[in-house]
Amino acid sequence: MKWSLVDAKREAGVIFAEARDGTAQCPEPLRDMLQKLIDRCDPSVREGGSNYMTYLLPIWVGEEAGIPASLSRDFAVGSVYMMLHYFLLDDVMDGEEMDFGPKASLAAGQLLHTMFVERYGRHFNGSAGLWNYYYSYTEQWSTAVSQEGIRQAEPRNAIGLALKSAPVKIGAAAAWLAAGKPERIPVAEQAVELALASLQLADDWADWQEDLTAGEERSNAFLTLARRALDLPEEQQLTEKLVRRAIFHYDALDKLTVLIHDHRCSLSGLGEAPPGLVGFQQAVLEGVEADVQSIRQTASNLAAQGGFSHFVSNSLK
């Protein structure tokens, strides 16, 4: 299964529909809440981006591992529940509970986590192997989120960037365990981490204004690059105008693109990454490269109109 946005949307529609059906036995009012949340996140029925990797990873790796498609689909549905569990948990920690309120969000999140465990666990007959991996991934996630905003996000540390999404790796581990090839898991984890790091960098680029306004500069790897590009002292406040100067005058986004390209090269060097994962990472890279071209075109147009120097000058005020 090579990466294709059209195919990804179609596959996501099937997975989310099954995930929605799986909530039918949940008690009200949580059932209605969960179904609304699933509908809201289903990329097959809405416009905008989606982290397809979270729930398509078991499909991609499952094809590589040679396990039945029905088994991969079960893991994918379980990954939807897991994704939404962490989604709600992150929102509560950030004080943004998506209109549900913290109590309802935590209650729904716990129910989603139980559904994730049941969906994966039904195929492992109580085996501890899978859950040992999940414990490790949860530990990585816990460490990352507990330090978020304390330590400066390091854009060159791919493994560190991937930690906040570490539980996603359970989809790859489950597929290789089901195939009876646990020795393939370490390389699969490396491949997933590289793709997750690329996605995190792209997300930080997309969210930099929001994060800067919210006082979350230290959590955003692109803002780290911008500060370094400007050679700004730690005690000096990073402002929106300074970030724009870093983008237009010091090629901060170009530097981020180089890092994602490096992930691409490393991913190709692994040699065993499933085509869907490689293609998804390539799509992330191409999206950021398109933004670089747009910025260059904007700068070129301003220069042709004699306004670029004025733009850069104003960005320092």
Residue 247 in this model has a pLDDT that exceeds 70: yes
Q: Is residue 133 part of a domain?
A: no
Q: Is residue 78 part of a domain?
A: no
Q: Is residue 37 part of a domain?
A: no
Q: Is residue 106 part of a domain?
A: no
- Mean pLDDT along residues 216-226: 96
- Mean pLDDT along residues 263-292: 94
**Number of structural domains the chain divides into:** 1
- Mean pLDDT along residues 286-308: 81
Segment 260-272, tens digit of pLDDT: 999 999 999 987 7
The pLDDT > 70 percentage for the chain reads 92
Mean pLDDT of the chain, nearest integer: 91
Domain enclosing residue 308, as ranges: 181-317
Residue 299 in this model has a pLDDT that exceeds 90: no
Residue with tokens 């490096």: 262
Residue 314 in this model has a pLDDT that exceeds 60: no
Q: What is the DSSP letter of 219?
A: G
How confident is the model at residue 170, as a pLDDT? 97
Q: Is residue 14 part of a domain?
A: no
How confident is the model at residue 301, as a pLDDT? 77
Q: Is residue 49 part of a domain?
A: no
Q: Is residue 279 part of a domain?
A: yes
Helices (H), the chain: 5-21, 30-41, 52-65, 69-94, 102-121, 128-147, 158-162, 170-178, 185-206, 208-213, 221-230, 240-249, 252-270, 275-304, 308-314
Q: Is residue 60 part of a domain?
A: no
Segment 70-106, tens digit of pLDDT: 999 999 999 999 999 999 999 888 876 567 788 989 9
Residue with tokens 């990466």: 3
More confident residue, 179 or 44: 179
Residue 185 in this model has a pLDDT that exceeds 60: yes
